[in-house]
């Protein structure tokens, strides 16, 4: 949601900025724009629509400035239009600002500025920021050493809400100021040039060295120097972090879409996530440990996340409960944060977020901490906000995930959560050793089994061809297969725009069966040998009513009644989601392709939901 790019160096900024915006497209947006510092002041080029449209704007090729900021906007205040697109300038054209986030008190700020004679030309909350900066710049900062930075800081003191902002100043053309509060922003360090972005992949081809700003920290950048300040404008020292991702991992690499590439990257992502954690010895995490004494005090585990990450929690709840004998609740972060949850120092809260920037998940984490719970963040992005808020942090190693619909991050999260549950069980001694050894061995076998699960594309494609014009689909499963049904249904909705619902198979007769009629598609997941017969009976009921059926199973089912049966390799029931989701990811992908849709950037969705 909204993307920010910045460049300060010796090269022409505009192509670098546009290129960066193209790489942030997956975050979701409806308009785009850039501002550069030219000989005669700040020049802005912007419009609604795709980033590529910027190339068509009159005069864009004449920009020569080497300092610039850029933005993709996801409309919140005011419709998508040229006027509402970023960057925004103050009335005197002295400051240009791009902003990611929401200024909650913008009405108040706008009235205040109007009373001081400022006019507004957009409906956005953002336009208050450059004007507020200008107000302070002109007002009372004569004594300050760095008027530009001091004015930005004064303006930020007045802002309520979330923001990551970049600011250009006409009078200080060789610098820019950036600051963040509850919105993502990273600074890439180059040689005689520096880069800013909402996330790492957009500037990975330029540098692997990053600075991560904490809330209300300011950076004052030139091409050769970056100075960091705390909220009192005292100079602070920040460490540079080197990121192991390579630039090629953020490219399509011959695949038609990022989603397909990421589906096929799952064996590697799982292998990397397992890393050196599993062997015949007890599990050890490199940068994280909990004591047996502490774990023994835990009465409940909460797993909290949004979207697919929440489904990873549902897919591993059983592992924690069965192996560790601790009750687990899985909760949607946006619900948890507003429900006054029963959390105490005897609760362990695990937060999962691929991006590490999801606003609801971060707010839920802050709430849990304030109630005394210990918190663990599981994220795919080193140094992301959530990892800096939590007491402990563990990483999935899926590499950059660009497609909006999450695939390799999900299976990596499932893998890591299973490892975490085994780690707890080893410490607590709540499970028999042979059960844990077998599970660890099965985890090590998973990358190979995922490779096998990726092989049967023809049958998946042929079922997708048969049903892609349908408007309703249902996913059924029992136990852990129900968790996979929820994720498969979400995947289909996200990228095919087909209405779909997931039900615990036993619930069919309590309502959804009323919707089954000729031609409705019903997809069932059956991996638990003890429950297969029961789910088959449910599927029989929908076949009788004319449904088209697809079965995903690791059981020896060969039944002519079903339209298609997809066989996946066998594994422990607890780990089966990591395999059973694979054909269903491919199914959604091929449906979306058949419908001619944009698989990687589905309508209305954002990869990183950084506002509420």
**Chain positions contacting ligand G6P, by CB under 6 A:** 306-309, 353-355, 358, 361, 404-406, 605, 607-609
Residue 265 or 442 with smaller CB distance to ligand G6P: 265
Residue 431 or 608 with smaller CB distance to ligand G6P: 608
Phi, psi at 211, each rounded to 5°? -110, 140
Shortest Å distance, C-beta 259 to ligand G6P:
11
Residues whose CB is less than 8 angstroms from the CB of residue 404 and which lie 6 or more positions away in sequence, other chains included:
26, 28, 494, 495, 600, 601, 602, 605, 606, 607
**Residue of this chain nearest to ligand G6P (CB atom):** 307
Distance CA 536, CA 538 (A): 5
Distance CA 473, CA 579 (A): 21
Shortest Å distance, C-beta 490 to ligand G6P:
8
Report which of 356, 355, 357, 314 is spatially closest to residue 332, judged by C-alpha positions: 314
Shortest Å distance, C-beta 313 to ligand G6P:
11
Radius of gyration of the chain (CA): 26
What residues form DSSP beta bridges with 32? 47, 72
Write down the H helix ranges in 1-98.
Answer: 13-24
Report which of 189, 212, 243, 201 is spatially closest to residue 386, judged by C-alpha positions: 212
Residue 194 or 361 with smaller CB distance to ligand G6P: 361
Residues whose CB is less than 8 angstroms from the CB of residue 304 and which lie 6 or more positions away in sequence, other chains included:
310, 313, 330, 331, 332, 333, 336, 349, 350, 351, 352, 361, 364, 365, 368
Distance CA 154, CA 177 (A): 13
Shortest Å distance, C-beta 389 to ligand G6P:
13
DSSP character string of 130-197: HHHHHHHHHHS-TT-S-HHHHHHHHHHHH--EEEEEEEEETTSTT-EEEEEESS--EEEE-SS-EEEE
Between strands 374-379 and 472-477, the pairing is unpaired
Shortest Å distance, C-beta 608 to ligand G6P:
6
Burial 534-557 (b: 16+ CB within 10 A, else e): ebbebbeebbeeebbbbbbbbbee
Residues whose CB is less than 8 angstroms from the CB of residue 248 and which lie 6 or more positions away in sequence, other chains included:
none
* Chain centroid, CA 70 distance in Å: 21
Distance CA 97, CA 171 (A): 14
Residue 118 or 245 with smaller CB distance to ligand G6P: 245
Residue 159 or 402 with smaller CB distance to ligand G6P: 402
Residue 354 or 527 with smaller CB distance to ligand G6P: 354
Shortest Å distance, C-beta 370 to ligand G6P:
20
Residue 94 or 197 with smaller CB distance to ligand G6P: 197
Residue 414 or 542 with smaller CB distance to ligand G6P: 414
Host H or E run for residue 70? strand 67-73
Q: Are 417 and 321 in contact (CB under 8 A)?
A: no
Shortest Å distance, C-beta 196 to ligand G6P:
20
Burial 347-364 (b: 16+ CB within 10 A, else e): bbbbbbbbbbbbbbbbbb
Shortest Å distance, C-beta 358 to ligand G6P:
3
Shortest Å distance, C-beta 470 to ligand G6P:
23
Residue 183 or 355 with smaller CB distance to ligand G6P: 355
Q: Are 573 and 484 in contact (CB under 8 A)?
A: no
Q: Are 561 and 540 in contact (CB under 8 A)?
A: yes
Q: Are 42 and 96 in contact (CB under 8 A)?
A: yes
Residue 335 or 559 with smaller CB distance to ligand G6P: 335
Between strands 186-189 and 209-212, the pairing is antiparallel
Query: Among all residues, which ones are annotated catalytic?
Result: 2, 607
Shortest Å distance, C-beta 345 to ligand G6P:
25
End-to-end CA distance of the chain: 11
Residue 312: helix, strand or coil by DSSP?
Answer: helix
């Amino acid at each position: 949601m909204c993307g920010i790019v910045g460049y300060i160096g010796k090269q022409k900024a505009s192509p670098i900025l546009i290129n960066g915006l193209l790489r942030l497209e997956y975050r979701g947006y409806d308009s785009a724009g850039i501002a550069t510092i030219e000989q005669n002041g700040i020049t802005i080029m912007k419009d609604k629509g795709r980033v590529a449209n910027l190339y068509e704007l009159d005069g864009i090729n004449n920009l020569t400035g080497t300092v610039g900021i850029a933005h993709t906007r996801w409309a919140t205040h005011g419709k998508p239009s040229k006027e509402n697109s970023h960057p925004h300038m103050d009335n005197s054209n002295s400051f240009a600002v791009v902003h990611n986030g929401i200024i909650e008190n913008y009405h108040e700020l706008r009235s205040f500025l109007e009373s001081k004679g400022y006019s507004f030309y957009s409906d956005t909350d953002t336009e208050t920021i450059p004007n507020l900066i200008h107000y302070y710049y002109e007002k009372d900062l004569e004594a300050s050493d760095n008027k530009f930075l001091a004015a930005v800081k004064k303006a930020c003191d007045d802002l309520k809400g979330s923001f990551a902002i970049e600011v250009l100043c006409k009078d200080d053309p060789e610098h820019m100021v950036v600051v963040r509060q509850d919105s993502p922003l990273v600074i890439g360090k180059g040689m005689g040039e520096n880069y800013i972005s909402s996330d790492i992949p957009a500037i990975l081809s330029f540098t692997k060295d990053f600075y991560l700003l904490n809330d209300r920290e300011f950076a004052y950048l030139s091409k050769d120097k970056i100075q960091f300040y705390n909220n009192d404008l005292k100079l602070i020292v920040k460490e540079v972090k080197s990121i192991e991702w390579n630039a090629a991992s953020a490219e399509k690499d011959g695949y038609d879409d990022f989603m397909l590439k990421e589906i096929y990257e799952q064996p590697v992502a799982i292998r990397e996530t397992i890393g050196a954690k599993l062997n015949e010895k007890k599990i050890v995490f490199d940068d994280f440990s909990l004591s047996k004494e502490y774990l023994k005090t835990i009465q409940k585990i909460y797993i909290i996340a949004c979207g697919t990450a929440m489904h990873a929690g549902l897919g591993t709840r059983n592992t924690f409960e069965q192996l560790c004998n601790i009750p687990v609740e899985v909760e949607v972060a946006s619900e948890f944060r507003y429900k006054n949850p029963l959390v105490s120092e005897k609760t362990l809260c695990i937060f999962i977020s691929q991006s590490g920037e999801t606003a609801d998940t971060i707010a839920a984490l802050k709430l849990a901490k304030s109630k005394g719970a210990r918190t663990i963040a599981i994220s795919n992005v080193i140094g992301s906000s959530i990892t800096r808020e939590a007491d402990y942090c563990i990483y999935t190693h899926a590499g950059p995930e660009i497609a909006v619909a999450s695939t390799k991050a999900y299976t990596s999260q499932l893998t890591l959560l299973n490892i975490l549950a085994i780690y707890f069980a080893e410490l607590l001694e709540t499970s028999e050793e042979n059960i844990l050894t077998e599970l660890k061995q099965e985890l090590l076998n998973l990358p190979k089994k995922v490779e096998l699960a990726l092989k049967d594309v023809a049958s998946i494609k042929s079922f997708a061809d048969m049903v892609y014009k349908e408007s309703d689909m249902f996913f059924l499963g029992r136990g852990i297969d129900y968790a996979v049904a929820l994720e498969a249904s979400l995947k289909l909705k996200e990228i095919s725009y087909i209405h779909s619902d997931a039900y615990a198979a036993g619930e069919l007769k309590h309502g959804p069966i009323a919707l089954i009629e000729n031609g409705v598609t019903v997809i069932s997941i059956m991996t638990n040998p003890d429950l297969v017969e029961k789910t088959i009976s449910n599927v029989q009921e929908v076949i009788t009513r004319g449904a088209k059926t697809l079965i995903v199973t690791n059981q020896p089912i060969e039944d002519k009644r079903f339209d298609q049966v997809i066989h996946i390799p066998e594994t422990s029931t607890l780990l089966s989601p990591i395999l059973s989701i694979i054909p269903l990811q491919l199914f959604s992908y091929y449906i979306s392709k058949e419908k001619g849709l944009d698989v990687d950037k589905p309508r209305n969705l954002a990869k990183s939901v950084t506002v509420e």
